[in-house]
Structure 1
Amino acid sequence: MSAVITNEDTCYEGLAGLDSAVGLVDKVLEAISFDKKLYSLYLSLFKMGWVSKDLKAPTLPKMKHFGVGKGQLKLKMSPKDRAYYERLVHRNKPPGARRLLQTNYQDDGIVINGIVGVDQNGTYDFTNITAAIAAAPNKTTVAKGYFLIFVAAGIYNETVLIPKEKRYVLLIGEGNNQTIITGNKNVVDGSTTFNSATVAVEGTGFLGVNLTISNTAGAAKHQAVALRVSADNATLYNCIFEGYQDTLYTHSLRQFYRECDIYGTVDFIFGNAAVVLQNCNIYARLPLSGQFNAVTAQGRTDPNQTREPLSTTAPSRRRRSSRQAPPLRAT
């Protein structure tokens, strides 16, 4: 219900910026405003009337594994997919070269169902990430497995969208600071904050590994998002997010970030998702004159969008370190 209110707020803000000669937008905005009051009422009834104040989070069983972590990636795939994946990973690497992420093939690993490669030189299946995402199956389930996209080292200057119908996509780079996705959309040049993201994730179950995602618009361009996540059960591991204002937009639903680096100046981790940042580094860049560094900005608009038994709608951090960072490089 918290996500419903958040998504409706986003819709309202987008429509409010449009011109309507016939007043159609105003009528839609009025209806949305009324709906929001109903959702707020439902949320308050659930919180105050149906949830006991003594409710405790259930004890979860110990997990035998997590798909990524401790420098390892656990995968389960067919012999054919495994052979192709090994060719992708070992391309242009001398014998004995160390991989940034060690792959273990285990029965309890992430199930893979389909693999494609992206390389700007045309060596693999696609030359850009957008085309590879379009090749992923629509509305798949986690039981059928993830669609793995391996992105070779390089700077990919493109705006990437993982739409809602592209569920359970596993996007793996050759290494953060090696596979770089970059863009420069921003509010000053006419984009909305929501649409300024270099990478936007809306498909359930997305998993991103070994990527750098940047918005190089610069501090003077104000809101300029590197990554926006509006997907449920999205996970990013060993990634770098670079920008200035509004770098990481944790928009809505449930998200998990582990061992990631986040760079920015003002409100550079913001949104209203139920999000955990675990073992992440937060780097504050030099802001514009008259500005000050603000790391997080909570997007809650309803007083009942509060702490839940297993998560929180406010960004939370575990073992987090904050440091000063140099200016972002231009691309």
Structure 2
Amino acid sequence: MRIFALPLVVLASFVASAAAEYSCAGPDARTQPPTGAIVVDPTGAYSGSFHNLSEAVSNVPNTTDEHTIFLFPGVYREQVLISRLNGPLVLQGYTCNTKLYAANEVTISHAKAQRDISPEITSGRNDLTSTLRLKTNDVKVYNLNVANTAGRFLENGQAVATIIEGNNYGFYACNFTSHQDTVYANKGRELFA
């Protein structure tokens, strides 16, 4: 019996230390919206929240103040357009560790490729496929996964995850996925960390 007890104690201590390492508390966790944030919660459990990012963006006040949109965990299946805003914007995804994109719990996903765009449209085609279309300045994005799931390039054409047409962008612990031209940084300065 003692032979089995020691390995069980060792195993339990490994599990406990792993759980502590991935604890969703501490200085690197972002699990609650900051004061004054616009909140996105697909479950609707958070009072006054919106069900998707597009709804939240359309409710950003038209002021020069910085505004934050906080997203609770989920896969948001939508194509998002953030047009010109008067002030800075912060997009913050729920995470247990702001330093690791692998800990992200928010994904914005859409499936649209070149083959889905009418052949009569000859300009801006990549923009029209993009999952997250950013057309404003001064945006910081934290802990979001952005995906265009339209499929393989050779079969479907380009399918962009995000297009940036503004200045002063920072992307921190974000993950972008698609099959061709994943991030289209068309204008301005961007930082990816």
Instruction: Give the TM-score normalised by the residue count of structure 2.
Output: 0.72
Instruction: Give the TM-score normalised by the residue count of structure 1.
Output: 0.43
- The counterpart of 1:213, out of the listed 139, 146, 150, is 146
Give the distance between the partners of 1:226 and 1:101, measured in 2 at CA: 30
User: What are the ranges of 5 or more consecutive residues in structure 1 without an aligned counterpart?
Assistant: 1-95, 105-111, 259-331
* Higher RCO structure (Cα 8 Å, ≥6 apart): 2
* Cα pair 1:113 1:147 within 8 Å, conserved: no
- The counterpart of 1:127, out of the listed 42, 51, 67, is 51
Give the distance between the partners of 1:195 and 1:159, measured in 2 at CA: 9
Q: 1:114: Cα distance to partner?
A: 3.0
Please identify runs of 4+ aligned residues in structure 1 that moved more than 6 A.
none
* Cα pair 1:136 1:166 within 8 Å, conserved: no
Q: Aligned with 1:102: secondary structure?
A: coil
Corresponding position: 1:183 with 2:105? no
Q: 1:222: Cα distance to partner?
A: 1.8
* Cα pair 1:157 1:181 within 8 Å, conserved: yes
After superposition, residues 81-230 of structure 1 pair within 5 angstroms as 97-99=23-25, 102=28, 114-124=36-46, 125-140=49-64, 144=65, 146-165=66-85, 167-175=87-95, 176=101, 177-190=104-117, 192-219=125-152, 220-230=155-165
User: What are the ranges of 5 or more consecutive residues in structure 2 without an aligned counterpart?
Assistant: 1-21, 96-100, 119-124
Give the distance between the partners of 1:132 and 1:115, measured in 2 at CA: 10
- Give the structure 2 partner of residue 247 of structure 1: 182
Q: 1:229: Cα distance to partner?
A: 0.8
Amino acid at match of 2:68: L
Q: Aligned with 2:187: secondary structure?
A: coil
Distance 1:113-1:204 versus aligned 2 partners, 3 A rule: farther
Q: Aligned with 1:114: secondary structure?
A: coil
Identity in percent:
30
Distance 1:101-1:117 versus aligned 2 partners, 3 A rule: farther
Give the distance between the partners of 2:156 and 2:27, measured in 1 at CA: 35
* Cα pair 2:117 2:128 within 8 Å, conserved: no
Q: Aligned with 2:115: secondary structure?
A: coil
* Cα pair 1:133 1:166 within 8 Å, conserved: no
Count of aligned pairs: 152
Q: 1:246: Cα distance to partner?
A: 1.1
Give the distance between the partners of 2:138 and 2:38, measured in 1 at CA: 18
Distance 1:238-1:100 versus aligned 2 partners, 3 A rule: farther
Cα RMSD after superposing both structures: 2.3
Q: 1:180: Cα distance to partner?
A: 0.4
